[in-house]
A and B are shown apart, each in its own frame.
Chain A
Amino acid sequence: MRIVHVNQIKDKVKEICLEIAYKINDDLKEALEAGEKSESSQLGKDVLCMLLENADVAQNQDIPICQDTGMVMVFLEIGQDITIEGGFIGDAVNQGVREAYEVGYLRKSIVDPITRINTKDNTPAIINYELVPGDKLKLSILLKGFGSENMGKVKMLTPSEGAPGIIEFVLDTVKNAGGNPCPPLVIGIGIGGAMDKAAAMAKKALFRPIGERSQDAFLKELEENLLKQINELNIGPMGFGGTTTALEVFAEKYPTHLAGLPVAVNINCHALRRKTIEL
């Protein structure tokens, strides 16, 4: 039995939030650079150039990449042979968020859904717990801005709609979002399971490194096909038109009921702020 103290988890949550709010990952930077080279519209190129400049300014001058430092999405894969000691793991995650948003001058954006009163410390995070075999603990954190989160959709397709229905739904969702979610986008798609499972898969898909295709032959083809078709919608950077609407599409699937075909689309802006570590 391996013992993990909650303070280790709290410290890691804090460290990751602070890091990703200020610094973009290399895979994202490379994708933006490639987009700037291939973009067909001059205005689109200018926007991509400004986004790369923004990333430099953020890192070098210690300013968050975007003022919407997000709601904190946490995925915990906990090995069943681990014992967590020192308190409740969920409290530790929220304490890490609280400390990061305070010392990091990150925007506290979390409010009661009805009264709209701010919790003033950016908690609670949304925490997904998954029990897995082994004695490792995998911690994945995504800072999700709501300009893009607001544009996500879930739809319960019928089985007969199949792959063409999935493609149509994804394209409609992206088209309808237009410039709102700050393209170029990274898009997660969850297929199957049930309504909640599809949505969770779509979000978790965003952690895959840009450029890494699905191992599944159907999903791989679907990802490539969707990426191509999305970039033909002429939405472009910030919706000003152009060929760089999405940097990446990740699709995941899970068995579903014979009567259903749930599909979820989670849209992320160009500021894909996420990191995974193992404890």
Chain B
Amino acid sequence: MEQRIILNLPADEATLHELKVGQMIYINGTIYTARDQAHMRMIKELNEGVALPISLLNAAIYYCGPSPKQPGKIVGAIGPTTSSRMDKLTLPLLEKGMKIMIGKGKRSQEIIEGIKKYKAVYLSAIGGAGALYANCIKSFETAGYEDLMAEAIYKLEVENFPAVVAVDTEGNSIF
């Protein structure tokens, strides 16, 4: 078997630059969930000058709304959601230093340009593999916007979390 490509977070610019479109990689470290409603609220707070519940500097954001956790488990099913819904909500976060986005499906040309400009990467997780991803989560806690339920921001410690490099730092896209 080919040797696995591991991405330890937080990663520096050079490490992200080594990731090439089409590679299957395995992530270790801290990532935060945020989807439609959390993005909208973060942008509203940025515009109002309110401090966000998380720091976006070098952050990895996972477009995901997990299912509820059962007693005795760390987390419920936790696969990716469709990224294109976040296209109109992404540039302000890139400007604040977000470096990694994880979701599924294609991104707009505007976001691909943004990824190049800010030397970020977009990773596609395996959609519909929510149970498999549950086993990659080592800790799970609410980091903000708890009232949004499944759409809240959760802080995750992940191990061997598989994803495919979908848009690399040079703007090459798999889609």
Contacts and interface: CB of A to CB of B under 8 A. Distances in A.
Interface of A: 43, 46-47, 50-51, 53-55, 57-58, 61-69, 105-109, 116, 118, 120, 145, 147, 150, 178-180, 182, 238-241, 269-271
Contacts of A107: 65-68, 76-77, 150
Given A67-B150, A238-B127, 15 more contacts: A47-B126, A51-B128, A57-B134, A63-B77, A63-B134, A65-B128, A65-B130, A66-B79, A67-B77, A105-B68, A105-B70, A107-B76, A145-B128, A239-B124, A240-B22
Nearest to B150: A107
From B65, B73, B76, B126, residue with most partner A Cβ within 10 Å: B126
Contact of A269 (B65, B128, B149): B128
Given A51-B129, A179-B104, A269-B127, A239 B175 contact: yes
Interface of B: 22, 24, 37, 64-70, 73, 76-79, 81-82, 84, 104-106, 124, 126-132, 134-135, 149-150, 162, 164, 174-175
Contacts of A116: 37
A69 B106 contact: no
A271 B68 CA distance: 19
Nearest to A239: B175
A31 to B, nearest CB: 14
Contacts of B22: 43, 240
Contacts of A50: 126, 129, 132, 162
A150 B127 CA distance: 15
B76 A64 contact: yes
From B65, B67, B69, residue with most partner A Cβ within 10 Å: B67
A54 B68 contact: no
B13 to A, nearest CB: 26
27 contacts: A50-B162, A54-B132, A62-B70, A63-B131, A63-B134, A64-B77, A64-B130, A64-B131, A66-B129, A68-B65, A68-B79, A68-B81, A105-B67, A105-B69, A108-B149, A120-B149, A178-B105, A179-B106, A180-B106, A238-B164, A239-B105, A240-B22, A240-B164, A240-B174, A241-B174, A269-B127, A269-B128
Contacts of B73: 63
A179 B24 CA distance: 16
Contact of A108 (B77, B124, B132, B150): B150
Please give me the 8 A-B residue pairs with the lowest Cβ-Cβ distance, nearest first: A182-B127, A180-B105, A58-B131, A63-B131, A67-B77, A107-B67, A54-B129, A64-B77
Contacts of A55: 131
B78 to A, nearest CB: 6
A65 B105 contact: no
B124 A240 contact: yes
Contacts of A147: 81-82, 104-105, 127
Contacts of B127: 66, 147, 179, 182, 238, 269
Contacts of B126: 47, 50-51, 54, 238
A55 B134 CA distance: 12
A116 B150 CA distance: 13
A179 B175 contact: yes
B79 A67 contact: yes
Contacts of B79: 66-68
Contacts of A69: 67, 77
